Chains A and B, each alone.
Chain A
Amino acid sequence: MIRDPKDLKRYNASERANHWVVGISFILLALSGLAFFHPAFFPLTQLFGGPVWTRILHPYIGVLMAVAFLIIFLRFKHLNKMTPADKEWLAKAKNMVDGNDHDMPEQGKYNGGQKVMFWALAISMLLMTLSGIVIWRAWFHLPVDIVRLGAVVHAAAGATMIGLIMVHVYAAIWVKGTIRAMWYGTVTRAWAKQHHRGWYRQVTGK
């Protein structure tokens, strides 16, 4: 039963499934990756059947995430081109964080912050994939200097990515009415009008 048939469709089923594949693989990768990131997190290996299984599984989950991420990236990259309105939004982002979003410039499907997040995650994912291949000893044998660089890049990009996703998740929790877009794909018209007025006009013709 749909509560309001006039709700706006933000994501179709395939996009949602794609996002969940990325999300689940990210959570598994973050937990298993942190286990090797710092000894304080080493007990997380118990979630994966012990440290050896964690070492074996982590890179394969990484391949899954890299593929799923690439698909989602290609799907959404045209919607994440930076515009002057985005730059204006970013300049005023402090007000937004402060809880005052009255005089934010009108935004399309994604605002400037979301676009920065999109590209930062894309760069992190690229670095993670390349450096991950370099340090995956089960399959690759590269010169030690490159492996050392790969280890540093993998750890740095991994920590960055976990930080970015924490912000991504918090933003969705903070802005009420957002998370349903990830679950069943729709948002209310009021939500769209408030947060993404440009997109609201585009889909409703108002």
Chain B
Amino acid sequence: MSMQSQDIIRRSATSSLTPPPQVRDHKLEVAKLIDVSICIGCKGCQVACSEWNDVRDEVGHNHGIYDNPVDLTAKSWTVMRFAEHQDEGGRLQWLIRKDGCMHCADPGCLKSCPSPGAIIQYANGVVDFQSEQCIGCGYCVTGCPFNVPRINKEDNKAYKCTLCSDRLAVGQEPSCVKTCPTGAIQFGSKEDMKLVAEDRIKDLKERGYANAGLYDPQGVGGTHVMYVLHHADRPELYSGLPSNPSISALVSIWKGFTKPLATLALAGIALGSLFHYVTKGPNEVSREIEEEIEREDKEEVK
């Protein structure tokens, strides 16, 4: 599936010394801004996502809560998560968060993936899975700080939100943005979205949400899906949105400098052995002992 977009800035399991085609570098960084305070939880975005992307998840069961499906799956790339929160004044708040891939600037999935080119990052910031290169190992799941990718049982490939990269390529906004009836999901350049968020946060603060703020976590280099939160000081209220996400230290050790070092060490053992053999020579059975045994044999014969 060679789309020849020529704007790929990062490719999994590929050295930055041999960069992917990226001559079309005059691209704006984009972002999807989800204003949680305007969301009414209609799930139109979920439907639009499965419509546009032609994925049809199994119809699930009622779990006694509004979340349906209850979790992201290989065929549900975005889900609304409903959390009930009682504020200091005892008022009930319904915190509804549209969950899905955050399109990190520093993606843990891409860092973990062992298959060259199975995960790529475009110049506009979108992190996309190239499914025909996916080998189904699940390392992306291990690497993701947001618990987003899911392995499809039918074809053993990992799937997640593409930020409608196919729509973006022809100048359209993602399908969830297009369908959102309240304007809670907006799309544009990351800079513009930050400005929009600023206005919204100002408004929320005036209306008594002193801790309103933008969720664009720097631990993963910022994200290309951002939230406006009424309680930006406590993102975990929103169905466990991590307050300070970053690529796990274990993943960094696993995929960092240790492996090239270990590879060098193994090469060192191989070459060290070779040169040991060449310089010290083989360890042979000494002629002396062989003669001793021959003598014993002769004595026995006598």
Give the B-binding residues of A (Cβ under 8 A). 6, 35-40, 42, 51-52, 54-55, 97-99, 101, 135, 137, 144-145, 147-149, 151-152, 155-156, 159, 162-163, 166-167, 170, 173-177, 188-191, 193-194, 206
Our pick among B116, B141, B262, B280 for the contact of A159 (Cβ within 8 Å) is B262
B137 within 8 A of A: yes
Contact A193 B292 (CB under 8 A): yes
Contact A38 B260 (CB under 8 A): yes
Complexed CA–CA distance, A6 and B269 (Å)? 37
Contact A39 B14 (CB under 8 A): yes
With an 8 Å Cβ cutoff, the count of chain B residues facing the other chain is 46
Contact A174 B156 (CB under 8 A): no
The main secondary structure of chain A at its interface with chain B is helix
13 A-B contact pairs sorted by A residue (CB < 8 Å): A37-B259, A40-B263, A42-B116, A98-B280, A135-B142, A144-B147, A148-B142, A152-B254, A163-B269, A174-B273, A188-B290, A194-B286, A194-B289
Complexed CA–CA distance, A6 and B270 (Å)? 36
Contact A151 B139 (CB under 8 A): yes
B264-302 at interface with A (beta carbon < 8 Å): 265-266, 269-270, 273, 276-277, 280-286, 289-290, 292-293, 296-297
B284 / chain A contacts, CB cutoff of 8 Å: 176-177
B217 / chain A contacts, CB cutoff of 8 Å: none
Q: With contacts A39-B116, A101-B283, A152-B253 known, what are 11 further pairs, Cβ within 8 A?
A: A35-B114, A39-B13, A54-B135, A151-B142, A156-B258, A162-B266, A167-B269, A173-B277, A189-B293, A190-B292, A190-B293
Q: Shortest Cβ distance from B118 into chain A, in angstroms?
A: 9
Complexed CA–CA distance, A170 and B263 (Å)? 18
B44 within 8 A of A: no
B108-162 at interface with A (beta carbon < 8 Å): 114-116, 135-139, 141-142, 147, 151, 156
Q: Nearest chain-B residue to A43 (Cβ)?
A: B116
Question: What is the count of residue pairs linking A and B with beta-carbon distances less than 8 angstroms?
Answer: 117
Contact B250 A174 (CB under 8 A): no
Complexed CA–CA distance, A27 and B260 (Å)? 21
B147 / chain A contacts, CB cutoff of 8 Å: 144
Contact B289 A193 (CB under 8 A): yes
B244 within 8 A of A: no
B48 within 8 A of A: no
Complexed CA–CA distance, A51 and B114 (Å)? 10
Q: Nearest chain-A residue to B134 (Cβ)?
A: A52
Our pick among B137, B142, B285, B296 for the contact of A176 (Cβ within 8 Å) is B285
Q: A55-B136, A174-B283 known; A190 and B290 CB under 8 Å? A: yes
Give the A-binding residues of B (Cβ under 8 A). 13-15, 114-116, 135-139, 141-142, 147, 151, 156, 248, 250-251, 253-254, 258-260, 262-263, 265-266, 269-270, 273, 276-277, 280-286, 289-290, 292-293, 296-297
Contact A38 B263 (CB under 8 A): yes
Complexed CA–CA distance, A37 and B114 (Å)? 8
Q: A38-B259, A135-B142 known; A148 and B114 CB under 8 Å? A: no
Q: Nearest chain-A residue to B280 (Cβ)?
A: A99
Contact A55 B135 (CB under 8 A): yes
A156 / chain B contacts, CB cutoff of 8 Å: 258, 262
Closest 4 A/B residue pairs (Cβ): A39-B13, A170-B273, A137-B138, A148-B250
B137 / chain A contacts, CB cutoff of 8 Å: 36, 55, 137
Complexed CA–CA distance, A167 and B230 (Å)? 61
Q: Nearest chain-B residue to A147 (Cβ)?
A: B142
A40 / chain B contacts, CB cutoff of 8 Å: 263
B142 / chain A contacts, CB cutoff of 8 Å: 135, 144, 147-148, 151
Q: Nearest chain-B residue to A40 (Cβ)?
A: B263
B250 / chain A contacts, CB cutoff of 8 Å: 145, 148-149, 151-152
B283 / chain A contacts, CB cutoff of 8 Å: 99, 101, 174-176
Complexed CA–CA distance, A38 and B255 (Å)? 9
A55 / chain B contacts, CB cutoff of 8 Å: 135-137
Q: Shortest Cβ distance from B8 into chain A, in angstroms?
A: 16
A170 / chain B contacts, CB cutoff of 8 Å: 273, 276-277
Contact B13 A190 (CB under 8 A): no
A39 / chain B contacts, CB cutoff of 8 Å: 13-15, 114, 116
B14 / chain A contacts, CB cutoff of 8 Å: 39
Q: Shortest Cβ distance from B21 into chain A, in angstroms?
A: 18
Contact B135 A159 (CB under 8 A): no
Complexed CA–CA distance, A159 and B268 (Å)? 13
Complexed CA–CA distance, A177 and B287 (Å)? 13
Q: Nearest chain-B residue to A155 (Cβ)?
A: B254
